Structure 1
Amino acid sequence: MISASKEILYIEDDELSMLTMRLIFKKKFPEFTLLEATTAKQGIEMAIKHRPFLIMLDILLPDIDGYESLQYLQRHPHTSGIPVWAVTACALSSDIRKGKEAGFERYITKPINMKNLIEWMKTHTMNAKV
């Protein structure tokens, strides 16, 4: 199920990463509302409440890691159909493989390649016809 929401949830505890994403969305994707959560627990609650179009999730969070959060989101009836992208500093090839095997639709490593992120977002929004 594709959400009709124009909201994208970013779950990230690093302030600089959050600021960077906020600026990207303000400049390149003003049609979307960027919801922000700094812990996995807060992010999961927001995902259930808002049912965003896309969830972008850091792997290394202070309360629950991204893999456990992903499993919860995949099992919950309100969030199971929402694509989840990892956004993380865990950039080894084994990390990327583990992330894809876990079920992340896309695995984005930090520092974020802005050109790629913008292209992926454009492709994702066109394919979902949001």
Structure 2
Amino acid sequence: MGKKILIVEDDEKNLKLMRVILKNAGYETIEAENGEKGVKLAKENIPSLILMDIQMPVMDGIEALRILKTDPLTKDIPVIAFTSYTMKGNKERFLEEGFDGYLSKPIDVKGFLDIVKSILGE
């Protein structure tokens, strides 16, 4: 298996699609359905990359990002915002929050893998 990628997504269809795309590209996936569980799994597994939905139950992606970026154990893990918020200015807002990249829903398979590989330096 390749690098570990943590997917934090509450929508089962999106989660399954990302899992299939990433596994077919040779990555190992870890999955969480909310930000709180995502933070816990990030600290336990130290993935190479985190794909973070923004709007989720329990803890949203922005709050989870803030926790991850202030923890010495997880602060250097790149985090990509994965969201259906596609209004003008949202991408810039998420990057200003500290996300390392931005992906909009629905998933464009080639664009999705291109961004993942770029962030991972591949």
The TM-score bracket by the shorter chain reads over 0.9
Counterpart among 53, 57, 60 of residue 62 in structure 1: 57
Counterpart among 78, 82, 106 of residue 111 in structure 1: 106
Please, which runs of 5 or more residues in structure 1 have no aligned partner?
Answer: none
Quote the RMSD (CA, aligned, Å).
1.4
Counterpart among 71, 89, 92 of residue 87 in structure 2: 92
Counterpart among 8, 13, 21 of residue 11 in structure 1: 8
Query: TM-score, normalising length from structure 2?
Result: 0.93
The aligned counterpart of 2:47 is: 52
Counterpart among 94, 118, 121 of residue 123 in structure 1: 118
User: What is the alpha-carbon distance in structure 1 between the residues aligned to residue 94 and residue 115 of structure 2?
Assistant: 17
The aligned counterpart of 1:102 is: 97
> Is the partner of 1:73 in helix, strand or coil?
helix
Counterpart among 8, 18, 22 of residue 19 in structure 2: 22
Q: Percent of aligned pairs with the same residue? A: 35
User: What is the alpha-carbon distance in structure 1 between the residues aligned to residue 28 and residue 65 of structure 2?
Assistant: 21
Q: Paired residues, what number?
A: 121
User: What is the alpha-carbon distance in structure 1 between the residues aligned to residue 95 and residue 36 of structure 2?
Assistant: 22
Please, which runs of 5 or more residues in structure 2 have no aligned partner?
Answer: none
> Is the partner of 1:24 in helix, strand or coil?
helix
Query: TM-score, normalising length from structure 1?
Result: 0.87
Deviating above 6 A after TM superposition, structure 1's stretches of 4 or more consecutive aligned residues are none
